[in-house]
Structures are given as C-alpha cells and as structure tokens.
C-alpha cells in the first residue's frame, strides 16, 4: 500500500518537491538574488518546468512515450506520443484532465506563471474529441433548425462547451448558450430567430 499522503509527497517522487526548487537545473546557472526585484529571476522557464514534469511522469508510466511542448500565446501545449499514449487519456479523458490540472499547479508553483494555460494531448485524443464535438454540434444545429425546438445537452466541462460554441458561432439558424452552475453547467442550442 502507498504511504504517501499528500500532493507534495507525490510530486517529490516525480522530482518536483520544494527541496528541488533550490537546486539549479542541469546546465543552468543558479540565479543570483541581490534584492527584491531579482526574486522574479528565481522562477524557472515555464516550458522547461512543464517538460521536466511530463518527462518525469511518463518515464514512470511508459518510458517509450515522448513529449513535445509548443508555446502558443498564453498557453503551453504538450503532446505525448507513442504506441500506448492514448491509454493516458483514461475514461472520458479524466486522467488527461487530472494531468493538466497537476501540470498547471506545478507550472504555477515553480515558474510563477499562473497566467499560462496548460493543454496536454495524448495520442491525438483532444483532436479526436474536438472533431467529434464539432460534428455533434453541426448535427444538432440541423435538428434544432428543422424542429424549431431547443436542445439541451448533458453537463460538460468548459473546454467541451467552448468547442461547440465556436463551431456554432457563425451558424445562421441556431445559437448556443451555457446555462447552470458549476459541474451542472450545460449547453443549450436554440433557434436563432423565435
């Protein structure tokens, strides 16, 4: 049975504990702190932090997996690839969502960059999910336009609702809106006129 009881213990096992924050990265000189303005220099490069975390994670799960990271404006996007990468998504993308939350927490803690979003995809799961949701939105838009009746979807995460909103943004016959609060927040597709 695993005796680790908190997130810090788990993160320490991945090489990202508080003790690790004081150690310099390999081939990176330790920052010199001379005053309050220099404290920002103590934070690490966000891309390096995310890459180190994900490499540590996948090394323990499946050493044959690879990770690549790209920076896009206000986000870091990581792609984990390999023969068994898709298994990391978990049921309904729950494991992948958890990896993103922990990666964001690590990024905020070690790089001091809470303003950056973190998106992780494994084996093209997010792309396939996006395509599926876009097709669903288009199909439901036709149904709502024909029937004139609104269609309410099951509660879904904000990222999934966003895909449907973007897909239907310019649709001539329907509009989409989010209703509800918290985990019960869901999307409704309504006829544009009437």
pLDDT 10s digits, 68-101: 999 988 889 999 999 888 888 888 888 898 999 9
DSSP string covering 134-146: HHHHHHHHHHHHH
Question: C-alpha angle 102/30/19, rounded to 5°?
Answer: 45
What was the pLDDT predicted at 21? 43
Query: Which stretches within the chain are classed as H helix?
Result: 7-13, 18-21, 46-61, 94-111, 125-147, 158-168
Encode 77-95: b = buried (16+ Cβ within 10 Å), e = exposed: bbbbebeebbebbeeebee
Average pLDDT over residues 182-189: 92
- Nearest-angstrom CA–CA distance, 100 and 87: 15
Q: Which residues contact 188 (CB under 8 A, 6 or more apart)?
A: 150, 151, 152, 153, 176, 177, 178, 179
pLDDT band at 7 (very low <50, low <70, confident <90, very high): low
Convert the pLDDT of each residue in 94-119 to its tens digit: 889 899 999 999 988 888 887 888 99
- 18 pLDDT above the threshold of 60: no
Task: Please provide the average confidence, as pLDDT, over all residues in the chain.
Answer: 81
What was the pLDDT predicted at 13? 58
- 22 pLDDT above the threshold of 70: no
Percentage of the chain beyond pLDDT 90 is 46
What was the pLDDT predicted at 159? 84
CB 175 within 8 A of CB 192: yes
Q: Of 6-10, 156-160, 172-176, where does mean pLDDT reach its minimum?
A: 6-10
- Nearest-angstrom CA–CA distance, 99 and 86: 13
- DSSP SS3 for 22: coil
Average pLDDT over residues 16-41: 40
Query: Among 24, 79, 31, which residue's Cα sits nearest to residue 51?
Result: 79
- Nearest-angstrom CA–CA distance, 72 and 166: 19
What was the pLDDT predicted at 142? 96
């Amino acid at each position: 049975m695993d005796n680790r009881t908190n997130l810090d213990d788990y993160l320490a096992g991945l090489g990202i504990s508080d003790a690790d924050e004081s150690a310099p990265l390999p081939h990176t000189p330790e920052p010199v702190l001379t005053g309050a303005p220099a404290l920002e220099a103590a934070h690490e490069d966000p891309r390096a932090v995310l890459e180190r975390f994900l490499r540590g994670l996948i090394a323990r799960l499946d050493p044959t997996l690879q990770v690549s990271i790209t920076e896009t404006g206000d986000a870091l996007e990581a792609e984990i690839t390999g023969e068994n990468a898709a298994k990391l998504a978990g049921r309904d993308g729950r494991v992948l969502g958890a990896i993103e939350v922990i990666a964001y927490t690590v990024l905020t803690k070690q790089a001091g960059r809470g303003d950056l979003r973190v998106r992780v995809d494994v084996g093209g799961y997010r792309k396939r999910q996006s395509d599926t949701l876009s097709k669903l939105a288009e199909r439901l838009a036709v149904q709502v336009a024909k029937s004139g009746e609104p269609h309410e979807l099951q509660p879904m995460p904000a990222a999934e609702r966003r895909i449907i909103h973007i897909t239907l943004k310019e649709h001539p016959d329907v509009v989409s809106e989010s209703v509800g609060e918290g985990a019960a927040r869901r999307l409704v597709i309504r006829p544009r006129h009437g």
